[in-house]
Amino acid sequence: MTQALSAVARTPLHHWHAAHDAVFAQRDGWQVVAQYANQEHEMEARSNLALADISATAKLSLRGKGVLAAAQGLGGAAAAPRGVSLLHGGILACRLTDEHLMLLASNSSISLVELQQCCGGPRLVWDDVTSAYAGFLVVGSRTDDLLRRLTPLDIRPGAFPANSCAETSVAGVEALLMRWAEPAISFLRIYVSWDLAEYVWTRIMEAGEELQIAPMGVVALAGLGTKSA
């Protein structure tokens, strides 16, 4: 008697990764990129400019009149619109508007249930948007050089500082940008519609070609040693 195989989810970039010599690994029910053929190049690119697919991470949208109270209860920058707070367990809270809060897992091992446990209360509408939005992580000292080629958003530190988020466009596609800084490294998260993920990813790679951008798997990503990446 053969044992039934459990279903494994794939990100919308799976075929792109496969076409670019990715080595896959199964993590928490998802098939993710462990590394590419030239892992040494990935490791080196982290300090310059690297791009990772984080679409497999859980994402939860909270809307309603109760968002203000929920955000204030979380504390930190998320208490104000466009603020981002790092919560216990590496969960990021991104306050988009007075009545819209996003909870974003830092890795695929953080479940939707754990996100739901972060905050609650009356007058909140919960929506699992894990497979509605693809996520990319941009790492490296040339992140802003890349962004200037892709978005009309004013990304100067005074306009888009660390620990903040903004709804804008990337490569002409509606996107959520989130900037976070830790002592070891600064990084940017980009979230776009699931069905437009490969288009935006490709445009980012093209825009970063002169900057020597490199795709990065979870092995190199884990080596960053940051809680929120």
Gap between the Cα atoms of 25 and 81, Å rounded: 37
Judgement on whether residues 21 and 96 belong to the same structural domain of the protein: no
Judgement on whether residues 44 and 84 belong to the same structural domain of the protein: no
pLDDT, residue 4, reads 44
Q: What phi and psi values does residue 149 have, to the nearest 5 degrees? A: -90, -10
Read off the pLDDT band of 3 (50, 70, 90): very low
Q: What is the pLDDT of residues 27-49, one digit of tens each?
A: 989 999 999 987 778 788 888 99
C-alpha closest to that of 138 among 159, 155, 118, 115 = 155
133-157 burial code (b ≥16 CB/10 A, e <16): bbbbbbbbebbbebbeebbebebee
Judgement on whether residues 74 and 117 belong to the same structural domain of the protein: yes
Read off the pLDDT band of 150 (50, 70, 90): very high
Q: What is the pLDDT of residues 81-128, one digit of tens each?
A: 899 998 888 899 999 999 999 999 988 888 888 888 888 777 899 999
Gap between the Cα atoms of 112 and 103, Å rounded: 9
Q: Please give the average per-residue pLDDT across 149-158, as a whole number.
A: 94
Judgement on whether residues 183 and 161 belong to the same structural domain of the protein: yes
Contact 100, 11 (CB under 8 A): no
Percent of the chain at pLDDT above 90? 63
Judgement on whether residues 107 and 208 belong to the same structural domain of the protein: no
Last residue within a domain, chosen from 128, 157, 189: 128
Domain containing 123 equals 59-128
Last residue within a domain, chosen from 90, 113, 128: 128
The answer to whether residue 3 is domain-embedded is no
Judgement on whether residues 158 and 211 belong to the same structural domain of the protein: yes
pLDDT, residue 9, reads 94
Judgement on whether residues 16 and 41 belong to the same structural domain of the protein: yes
Count structural domains, the chain.
2
Last residue within a domain, chosen from 106, 128, 150: 128
Judgement on whether residues 141 and 180 belong to the same structural domain of the protein: yes
Amino acid making up residue 220: A
The answer to whether residue 94 is domain-embedded is yes
pLDDT, residue 226, reads 58
pLDDT, residue 73, reads 87
pLDDT, residue 5, reads 46
- This prediction has a pTM of 0.91
